[in-house]
Structure 1
Amino acid sequence: MHSRGQDDKIKRMNLSYLTTVLTSAIPSLNLRSCLVNQGGQNLYEHYRHSRIPEEIAKINSCTKSILSALICMAMDRGRLPESHTPIAEFFPTLLTDGDSRKREITIEHLLTMTDGLKWTEFGEIKSFPRMTRSDNWVDFVLSQPMAEAPGRKMEYSSGASQLLSAILVQACGMPLARFAELELFGPLGIEQYEWETDPQGIHTGGYGLRLRPADLLAFGQLYLNRGRAAGRQLVSEERAIRSVQPAAPAGPPNVGYYGWHWWTDTFSPPLSSASEHAPPNDETDIAPSSFDYFYARGYGGQFVYVVPVFRLVVVLTDDRRKKERNPTNVFREIIAPALVR
């Protein structure tokens, strides 16, 4: 076994190699932005054009992870009860619903998307677009039939996120965006944003937030630092850690696990892949061979990756149509292999 000093040296070597790889690979991918920060220092920064750093843009479902932070903050401050609380406390119509399983759904089931409601985000029954066309999104979600008992299976659902948003409004007695300004955006220095609302004026919990790339980086650093930023513990360390733990296997076609509105996974490259990407050096054989990470993910190429073992935060954003985007998985195919060379 090698020492802590050797570990740190290897990580520094790998991060230096990562910078070289990014400088070579990223410009040709035509991403909107790519930010890589290690321990508070920028290793790499790329924007498609000079205006992007100050422009807010859609982060799509990365909004879900920000909602998770706000849920944790409300619990920390005693405004919201613990995660095992049944959501029927906020939606009393569930107490008289014909399916008694709905009364078993808890806040945590919504956070882990294991609520059991019949839902297909896109395709088949197209739950998400049907919700957004309805007159009352919360009522639409609550009216969906149960597919199975709560807690058994993760089914990706922006409907679950909208219920959480509605719960926060009730618990905090103010619009979700205002609570975010006071407790999260202000301390992180996020001054400019836009956030969509549903027909009842409830901010969208599953998408709809617009931020700058640097704002996403600050948010990732908050979780890298276990809920601490600007000299304050914004999210309790206990809940910041709990949020990003694997809670349920991700439903197909997704891989890895799902936490409290965060994705989690492990990178372990094939041995042949690791050797192909690594230039010769005397210490490659003792470099880390795998690592855990967690991430926020939004449609169209929006990502915030956090890799605790390397103290690394990666932000990727894009704004091109699907057929125009490069199919490369930047994190899994470029960044991660460079870290474990």
Structure 2
Amino acid sequence: MAFADRVDSVLRAGEAPNLHGLVVVENGQITLERYGAGEDFKLNEPLGHVTFGPDTLHDVRSVTKSVVSLLYGIALAEKLVAPPEESLLAQFPEYPDLAEDPQRARLTVEHALTMTLGLEWDESVPYTSTANSEIAMEYAPDRHRFVLERPVVEEPGLRRTYCGGATALIGRLVAKGSGRSLTEFARSALFEPLGIGEFEWGRGGDGVEMAAAGLRLTPRDLAAIGTLLLDGGRGIVPRSWIEELWRPRVQIDDRSAYSYHWYVGTGEHPGLSAHGNGGQVLHLAPERGLVVAMTAGNYDNFAQSTSATVLDAVLQGA
């Protein structure tokens, strides 16, 4: 059975609730596209019942983190940002008191890229509560200081702790180095060269883009980003940076590892992927020239496996 038939069978059986959009690209061509309808949100703002289509922007939530990594890679090639091995606190001279702490002084940019900062951080509660560290960061008077002054709980580089604050720091490096907002840099350096015209990037109360989860893209444009990576970056994203993304740096479980804000699959479905709350997925399977982009509405429902079910249907037998 072709993967289109498998996906349609899953959808007819109601096994993929709240699937909003699916685009599959095979060898550079869209070979499957499906859209649904349902309740949607822009972060925590209700949008009501939405009928989705090719031009409907959708929250990609934490897939935003992976896009920020691409922007960092572009900025790095242009020598606008410090390389991964450089001191992290040295990039924030506005916080000299934090840099004087010998424990924090050991932090590098790479520790932020791999989320191995060793700082206290908890995103295990819903993203509607300030008990969630990412939400608390959004309410802080200075989001970057909020992250960097978290209590030190372990050696940096020891283990990955999921941390939207780490992405906020990387986003700040890109904005400072380029002299432009993330929106402006993303538009000129990545989106426009890729043919992406319409997108949105939500901002916090301080006017700064939410680097951890603020992007809204169409599934087609999300797929275009994946296709760009499979094509070696086309001079937009440096090929050398894409190669770095494929290097597993921190093991998550027996099926996946974490790289520079991207997941490296080492299990049944090897590949490079980005994930966001609610079922947002961008998955690259280079051995088949395949890119899968999904949007869904299972926000804060971590038990709902819509994206996994659909992805399995696409990749089955690969």
**TM-score by structure 2 length?**
0.86
- The Cα of 1:93 is off from its aligned counterpart by 5.2
| Cα distance in 2, alignment partners of residues 90 and 200 from structure 1 | 20
Could you list the runs of 5+ residues in structure 1 that have no partner in the other structure? 1-15, 269-290
- The Cα of 1:293 is off from its aligned counterpart by 0.6
| Cα distance in 2, alignment partners of residues 155 and 322 from structure 1 | 18
| Cα distance in 2, alignment partners of residues 167 and 122 from structure 1 | 26
| Root mean square deviation, CA, Å | 2.3
- The Cα of 1:178 is off from its aligned counterpart by 0.3
- Give the equivalent residue in structure 2 for 1:336: 315
- The Cα of 1:241 is off from its aligned counterpart by 1.4
Q: Which range moved further: 158-167 or 76-85?
A: 76-85
1:57 has 2:63 as partner: no
| Cα distance in 2, alignment partners of residues 333 and 216 from structure 1 | 19
Provide, for residues 240-262 of structure 1, a one-character-per-residue CA deviation record: whole Å limited to 9, x for no partner. Answer: 11023211012x7x951111111
- The Cα of 1:74 is off from its aligned counterpart by 0.1
- Give the equivalent residue in structure 1 for 2:4: 19
Letter in 1 for 2:121: W
**Which structure's CA Rg is the greater one?**
1
Letter in 1 for 2:111: H
| Cα distance in 1, alignment partners of residues 69 and 301 from structure 2 | 31
1:307 has 2:295 as partner: no
Counterparts in 2 of 1:325 and 1:43: CA distance versus 1, 3 Å: farther
| Cα distance in 2, alignment partners of residues 325 and 23 from structure 1 | 22
1:203 has 2:209 as partner: yes
Q: Contact 1:36–1:312 at 8 Å: present in 2 too? A: yes
Letter in 2 for 1:334: A
- The Cα of 1:72 is off from its aligned counterpart by 0.1
- The Cα of 1:171 is off from its aligned counterpart by 0.7
- The Cα of 1:48 is off from its aligned counterpart by 1.1
Q: Contact 1:165–1:202 at 8 Å: present in 2 too? A: no
- The Cα of 1:332 is off from its aligned counterpart by 5.4
- The Cα of 1:113 is off from its aligned counterpart by 0.5
- The Cα of 1:265 is off from its aligned counterpart by 1.2
- Give the equivalent residue in structure 1 for 2:294: 316
Letter in 1 for 2:291: V
Q: Contact 1:137–1:199 at 8 Å: present in 2 too? A: no
1:129 has 2:131 as partner: no
Greater helix share, 1 or 2?
1
| Cα distance in 1, alignment partners of residues 63 and 302 from structure 2 | 21
Provide, for residues 29-71 of structure 1, a one-character-per-residue CA deviation record: whole Å limited to 9, x for no partner. Answer: 3411111111111221111157421111111000001000000
Counterparts in 2 of 1:88 and 1:235: CA distance versus 1, 3 Å: same
Write the mapping of 1:183-194 to structure 2, written as runs, cut at 5 A. Answer: 183-194=189-200
| Cα distance in 2, alignment partners of residues 134 and 85 from structure 1 | 26
Write the mapping of 1:164-313 to structure 2, written as runs, cut at 5 A. Answer: 164-228=170-234, 233-250=235-252, 256-268=256-268, 291-313=269-291
3-state DSSP class of the match of 1:294? strand
Q: Which range moved further: 327-336 or 105-114?
A: 327-336
Letter in 2 for 1:136: D
Counterparts in 2 of 1:239 and 1:327: CA distance versus 1, 3 Å: closer
- Give the equivalent residue in structure 2 for 1:115: 117
**TM-score by structure 1 length?**
0.80
Could you list the runs of 5+ residues in structure 2 that have no partner in the other structure? 38-50
Provide, for residues 143-193 of structure 1, a one-character-per-residue CA deviation record: whole Å limited to 9, x for no partner. Answer: 101111211111100010111111111111111110001110101111111
Counterparts in 2 of 1:324 and 1:239: CA distance versus 1, 3 Å: closer
3-state DSSP class of the match of 1:264? strand
| Cα distance in 2, alignment partners of residues 154 and 166 from structure 1 | 21
3-state DSSP class of the match of 1:190? coil
| Cα distance in 1, alignment partners of residues 118 and 279 from structure 2 | 28
- Give the equivalent residue in structure 2 for 1:89: 90
Q: Contact 1:227–1:235 at 8 Å: present in 2 too? A: yes
Q: Contact 1:248–1:258 at 8 Å: present in 2 too? A: yes
Letter in 1 for 2:315: A
1:141 has 2:147 as partner: yes
- The Cα of 1:83 is off from its aligned counterpart by 1.4
3-state DSSP class of the match of 1:118? coil
Letter in 2 for 1:48: G
- Give the equivalent residue in structure 2 for 1:48: 36
Residues matched between the structures, number: 296
Counterparts in 2 of 1:118 and 1:58: CA distance versus 1, 3 Å: same
Letter in 1 for 2:294: L
| Cα distance in 1, alignment partners of residues 185 and 63 from structure 2 | 18
Provide, for residues 208-267 of structure 1, a one-character-per-residue CA deviation record: whole Å limited to 9, x for no partner. Answer: 111111110001111112212xxxx111111111023211012x7x95111111111123
Q: Percent identity between the aligned chains?
A: 29
| Cα distance in 1, alignment partners of residues 301 and 158 from structure 2 | 36
- The Cα of 1:96 is off from its aligned counterpart by 3.3
